[in-house]
Chains A and B, each alone.
Chain A
Amino acid sequence: MSRMLKFKIKRQDSKDAAPYWEDFTVPYKSNSNVISCLMDIQANPVNSKGEKVSPVVWDCSCLEEVCGSCTMVINGQVRQSCSALVDKLEEPIRLEPMTKFPVVRDLAVDRSRMFDALKKVQAWVPADGYHDLGPGERISPEHQHVAYKLSECMTCGCCVEACPQYSKNNDFLGAAAMNQARLFIMHPTGKNLRNERLNVLMQKGGISDCGNAQNCVEACPKSIPLTESIADLGKQVSKQFWNNLFSS
């Protein structure tokens, strides 16, 4: 008999249903990742007790750790399930949905709050209209070096899942959205919305709700310097604070 992999999966049948744990065993294949094992369960949805159950639901898309949709809590740590190789995981492999977002079903969660946060900080370059705006400003290699790293964010949710200040009971924007605010403030055209972005960051749920636990930067699968972004914005809002008080 070939080697079997043990999985413990936290399941939830619908949005408001109570969660429960279910065990599965999957035939071991070398170099397989958590998603390929979930696909095996989907093909043969039988739990460890031999009962036929509904297949486990999860979210995934790119399978190369750039889209962020397959993020879940694996053995207690938040990460992408596509890049979680079973050879490097301790058994039984525990899979749970992220705890900071509403569960849609099983391991699939609704990350709308993160995308709403991006809208709040206007994480885009304002370039509306059909008329010719002319060429964009040239960007120096130094600028590009910093901005490229910040732009690697895939809004996966690892930073806010690990954050002790981000909870279902508050409206904290979280590290990902703040990092994008910094990125687009840096941009030569994006900087037109600088004051609007900073004023959003200076509201409840903004930058002042950061508690400096710095879990975000440790949990980030893309190694984005999130705490540097937060400190940089801290400096900018400090100046804005001063201007709002004495120069406006």
Chain B
Amino acid sequence: MDAHFIYRRLHSLTGIVPVGLFLIYHLYIQLYLHSGAEVYNEVVNSFYDSPLALWVLALIVYIPLIFHSVYGAMITFEAQAQPNYHYFAHLLYWLQRLSGIGVLFFIIAHVWNAQLGPLMADTWGTHFEHLAEGFADPESGLVTKTVYVLGVLGATFHFANGINTFSITWGIALTPRSQLRMRVISVITFLVLTVSSFYALAAIW
């Protein structure tokens, strides 16, 4: 057992716990967009009322997320294209890497847009209005909407397919049949999370 093995296993684990669980929680919170500005802002801001909010953010979200994405990007560059082999799992292998890199850029833009930007402009707290204005902007609205749709799709795919590969890596799904069952679970996860987040986005479309 060496550090390499531990890093790889940590990379696999952090994708599900805590990053994947945070994704589910985060997408669930967005359903409050349908409850209007007041409720949505209250729900989001109430999290930051906790004195431990920044610790929770750092330990449960940012540190695992940064580790998972930076290490994942390094793994991606070790891969060697095999364009002659057209198998479904191979397609998923490349989509997992493509979505990972795409979501990394999306998250950087997203954190800048939703967290750092408002903090620096001292408009922190009016999250609903900030999002809705961004979407309604006559110049950049369409770009923002497209980026959000792609970002959501990338994140839900990456997480759902990650459940599948996680279960193989840790030896949870051994046989082809059990791996097929796991694939069904990951397809359902992908559909539920994607439909739920598109429904959430529809509130401010």
Contacts and interface: CB of A to CB of B under 8 A. Distances in A.
Contacts of B179: 227, 231
B89 interface: yes
Contact of A227 (B75, B84, B168): B168
Contacts of A14: none
Interface residues of B, number: 30
Contacts of B2: 202-204
A215 B4 contact: no
Given A203-B2, A209-B8, A214 B84 contact: no
A61 interface: no
Given A170-B78, A202-B1, A235-B170, A215 B176 contact: no
A230 B167 CA distance: 12
A162 interface: yes
B85 A162 contact: yes
Contact of A77 (B81, B84, B93, B174): B84
Nearest to A210: B169
Given A164-B79, A164-B82, A165-B78, A206 B90 contact: no
Nearest to A203: B2
A231 B171 CA distance: 5
Interface residues of A, number: 40
A152 interface: no
B165 interface: yes
B81 A214 contact: no
Contacts of A32: none
Interface string A212-248: 1111001100000101101111111110110010000
Interface string A189-205: 00000000001001110
Interface in A104-128: none
A141 interface: no
A211 interface: yes
B171 A234 contact: yes
Nearest to B172: A235
Among B4, B79, B169, B176, max chain A CB count under 10 A is at B169
A232 B171 contact: yes
Contacts of B172: 235
A167 interface: yes
A212 B168 contact: yes
A237 B84 CA distance: 32
A230 B81 CA distance: 21
Contacts of A232: 171, 174
Contacts of A177: none
B181 interface: no
A95 interface: no
A236 to B, nearest CB: 7
A235 B8 contact: no
Contact of B1 (A77, A170, A210, A241): A241
Contacts of A166: 80
Nearest to A213: B93
Task: Report the 8 A-B pairs with minimum CB-CB distance, sorted nearest first.
Answer: A235-B171, A208-B8, A214-B89, A213-B93, A234-B171, A76-B84, A204-B4, A202-B1
Given A218-B90, A234-B171, A237-B5, 19 more contacts: A76-B84, A164-B79, A164-B81, A165-B80, A202-B1, A203-B4, A204-B2, A210-B169, A211-B93, A213-B82, A215-B82, A215-B90, A231-B173, A232-B174, A234-B169, A235-B170, A235-B172, A237-B171, A238-B171
21 contacts: A165-B80, A166-B80, A167-B80, A202-B2, A203-B2, A212-B93, A212-B168, A213-B82, A213-B93, A214-B87, A214-B90, A218-B87, A218-B90, A225-B176, A228-B175, A228-B176, A234-B170, A235-B170, A241-B1, A241-B5, A244-B1
